[in-house]
Amino acid sequence: MISVVSPVYNSESCLEELVNKIIISTEKITKSPEIILVDDGSIDNSWNKIVQLKKKFKFLKGIKLKKNFGQHHAIYFGIKNSSNNIIIIMDCDLQDNPKFIPIMYEKYKKKDMPVIIQHSYENFTASSRIISHFFWQFLSLISLKKFSAYLGNYLLIDHKIKKKYLSIKEIGYLYGDLITQNNNFEIIEKKRSRSKRNVSTYNYLSLVKFSLSLILKYNFITSFFSTKKKNKIKKNIIEKII
């Protein structure tokens, strides 16, 4: 009934807590949610932890990518290998609180539309909030789409949206790819938690590269000529599925 997809990078310390919280939050919906953890080339023991969890929970699926391709490639292949009608995507470090899954599910049942969590960052520094706000406003301006600093990867889609999403020509940013396909979301406002990881997996350089990639992909000039692009999605990036 429900698949939960979470990209994993250097997160061995929080994976067991993540899985247990997903199970608790979905127990009134299903006794065996499909939990898909996609190891995006971690250099810690994340994959070994996923293997251990698979032995404990048969409904868990582990996907190991050949190297670090980036969070949104991991999400793409997690969604591609999901089995159920409803797919929930969330970060693995528990900034996306699994307790919101039933609320998202109920909203979807009532509205029959994809659902996204709109986060409040009130406990984060003012400087980071200001920089983030201006970047996403700029991206909205050049893309002619509505981006927001408060809308991320914590969202729910169904098999119809999945089929359309998997037809994209080039992986960018999950929410960005979905809205460029003209999907509208029901929004639920919730407070974002702090990461369970001690160190962010994004350093300053990777943030700059990611920001530039979004500007290049979503600006309206690139979008206008996107139909002429060939499919750039790498096909053979999965090393192992358990």
| Cα–Cα distance measured from residue 26 to residue 231, given in angstroms and rounded to the nearest whole number | 36
- What percentage of the chain reaches a pLDDT higher than 90? 62
Judge whether residue 88 has pLDDT over 90: yes
Under the banding of pLDDT at 50, 70 and 90, the label for residue 191 is confident
Give the structural domain span for 23: 2-125+151-198
Say which residues have a Cβ less than 8 Å from residue 130's Cβ, sequence separation at least 6. none
pTM of the model: 0.87
Chain center to CA of 139:
19
- What percentage of the chain reaches a pLDDT higher than 70? 88
The count of structural domains within the chain is 1
Under the banding of pLDDT at 50, 70 and 90, the label for residue 206 is confident
User: Is there a contact between 146 and 140 (Cβ–Cβ < 8 Å)?
Assistant: yes
What is the per-residue pLDDT for 212? Answer: 86
At CA 150, angle to CA 127 and CA 208, rounded to 5? 55
Q: What is the CATH number of the domain that holds 156?
A: 3.90.550.10
Q: Is residue 211 part of a domain?
A: no
Q: Is residue 221 part of a domain?
A: no
Judge whether residue 232 has pLDDT over 70: no
| Cα–Cα distance measured from residue 227 to residue 236, given in angstroms and rounded to the nearest whole number | 23
Q: Is residue 142 part of a domain?
A: no
Q: Which range, 9-18, 146-155, 210-219, 220-229, is most confident?
A: 9-18
